[in-house]
């Protein structure tokens, strides 16, 4: 009589791998969904800002106002005038984010990747689609450089990612003897 044990073990491993791949696929779809929502919302708000804020700003509360500005650099206008370096950096960051989103098993990390990826791609789209290769910014605080929803999304995504990494590190330290 033939021993079926090796085949049963192989089948169990195969089923476990399928569950892992399905979970990773679902998590990656969440990343794509979050990124897509960020891009849509950011591009809509930039369109509205360019239409309604071109002649005047709108005062909201305290120093906060909506004010149309253009930025050829990245965060805080860094690297202004260095479009090629910015474009290559954004492309590399997006590729790395997609890789980690594919292999990630954490919902929070995938949402973080989606926020960062969506913000980066939306600002990248501005650079590629606008003739002046500038990003539209419109949220003015008076004490911080003017920014947009994509920038906000990137910052929130990075903050969530740091929180998750700290939490994971603390859990590892607490579980080790």
Q: Say yes or no to pLDDT of 20 above 60.
A: no
* Residues recognised as catalytic: 137, 151
pTM, two decimal places? 0.82
Q: How confident is the model at residue 10 (pLDDT cuts 50, 70, 90)?
A: low
Q: Write b or e for each residue in 7-30: b if 16 or more Cβ atoms lie within 10 A of its Cβ, otherwise e.
A: eeeeeeeeeeeeeeeeebeebbeb
The arithmetic mean of pLDDT across residues 41-47, rounded, is 98
Which of 115, 109, 103, 177 shows the shortest CA–CA distance to 150? 115
The arithmetic mean of pLDDT across residues 70-84, rounded, is 78
Q: Say yes or no to pLDDT of 29 above 70.
A: yes
96-125 pLDDT per residue, tens: 999 999 999 899 999 999 999 999 999 999
Report CA Rg, the chain. 22
With vertex at residue 50, the alpha carbon angle to CA 46 and CA 53, rounded to the nearest 5 degrees, is 115
Mean pLDDT of the chain: 86
Domain boundaries, the chain: 18-44+106-166
């Amino acid at each position: 009589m033939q021993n079926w044990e090796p085949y049963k073990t192989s089948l169990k491993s195969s089923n476990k791998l399928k569950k892992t791949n399905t979970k990773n696929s679902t998590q990656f779809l969440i990343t794509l969904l979050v990124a897509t929502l960020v891009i849509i919302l950011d591009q809509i708000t930039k369109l509205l800002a360019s239409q309604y804020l071109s002649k005047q700003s709108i005062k909201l509360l305290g120093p906060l106002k909506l004010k149309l500005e253009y930025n050829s650099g990245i965060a805080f206008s860094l690297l202004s005038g260095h479009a090629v370096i910015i474009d290559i950096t954004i492309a590399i960051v997006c590729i790395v984010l997609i890789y980690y989103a594919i292999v990630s098993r954490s919902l929070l990390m995938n949402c973080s990747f989606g926020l960062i990826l969506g913000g980066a791609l939306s600002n990248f789209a501005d650079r590629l689609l606008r003739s002046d290769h500038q990003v539209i910014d419109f949220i003015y605080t008076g004490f911080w450089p003017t920014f947009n929803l994509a920038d906000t999304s990137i910052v929130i995504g990075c903050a969530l990612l740091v929180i998750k990494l700290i939490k994971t590190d603390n859990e590892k330290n607490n579980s080790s003897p």
